[in-house]
Amino acid sequence: MGLDGGTVISRSDVLRGASWELSQADGTRSTRGGAVSKAGTFKKPKLDKVAVRVVGWTTCALSGEPLQAPIVADWLGSLYNKAAVLGFLLARAGHFETEGDVHRYSNQLRTGLSQWDHLDCVRDVFEVRLPGTQGDAMPRGEGGAAEAAPLSCPITSASCLQQPFSAIPGCGHIFSNKAISHMAGVCGLCSQPFDPDLVVGLLGDEVEKERLRRLLPLRPGRRRSGKRKRS
C-alpha cells in the first residue's frame, strides 16, 4: 500500500478533490466556511464514474477504510467492513470502547448520520462473499483507479466497473445482473434457492436504490421490529 508506484484512491480523496476544485474555481471562496463572493458561480464538476465505483467496491462506506473480510452489505446495496458496522451500532447505543471510537462516531455525525438511518441492528446487513477478501484487503489495479477491476463475475467474467452486480441474500454470492437473470432462482455457485425479486443491487443508481427501499419492509426482522415499535 503506497511507495510501490500504484495509486490507492479512497472516499476521502474523492471528497478532497471536490473541495480543491471549489477553491480553485473562485479565489474569493473559502473551503473553511469563509465569505462567499457573488461575483462568480461555481459549477460542480462531474466525478469520474470509474473512480467512484472503484471507491464503492474497495472501501467501507462507513469507515472509509479498505474492505476486508468479513464484509457485509446493507439492504440498499452499500458495502461495509462488518467490524465498522458493529462499532457504529454500539456507538449509536452509547457504548464506546476507546477514545478513537468517540472521535469516529463524531465524524460520522458531522458527515450526515441520516444516510445510515436504516442501520438499526445486525439484521440490517448480510454477509457477502467477495473473491480475494479472506483476510486480505480488496485487490486494486497496479495502474490506479482507472485500471482497477476489484471483482469479476464468476459466471460471465464481466467487470463490476462495467456492468451492474447484485448480491444474493442468504448465501452472499455476488454476480452480474446478467448472470443472475439466467439462474432461475438457484445460485450458480452453491445451488441455494433464492427469490430473484429480492436480490440486492450493489452500488446501484437511484432507480435501483428506490426499488430496494420499497423492499425494506420485506427484509428479515423488519416486520417483527415494526410490531415491537407499535406495542
**Nearest Cα to Cα of residue 57 among 170, 202, 163:** 202
Name the CA radius of gyration of the chain, rounded: 20
Poorest-pLDDT segment among 77-81, 108-112, 124-128, 211-215: 108-112
Q: How far is CA 70 from the centre of its chain?
A: 14
How is residue 13 written as a grid cell?
480523496
Q: What is the pLDDT of residue 196?
A: 92
Beta bridge partners of 145: none
pLDDT tens digit sequence for 135-160? 444 444 444 443 456 889 999 999 99
Q: CA 187, CA 191: separation in Å to the nearest integer?
A: 5
Mean pLDDT for 182-197 is 95
Beta bridge partners of 127: 72
Q: Answer with the residue of higher pLDDT: 48 or 2.
A: 48
pLDDT tens digit sequence for 194-226? 999 999 999 999 999 999 999 998 887 654 444
User: Residue 7 — pLDDT band, cuts 50, 70, 90?
Assistant: low
Percent of the chain at pLDDT > 70 equals 59
Helix (H, G, I), strand (E, B) or coil at 58: helix
Listed by start position, the domains of the chain span 48-216
Beta bridge partners of 137: 68
Average confidence score pLDDT of the chain: 76
Beta strands across the sheet bearing 125-128:
79-81, 71-74, 125-128
- DSSP class of 142: T
How is residue 94 written as a grid cell?
452509547
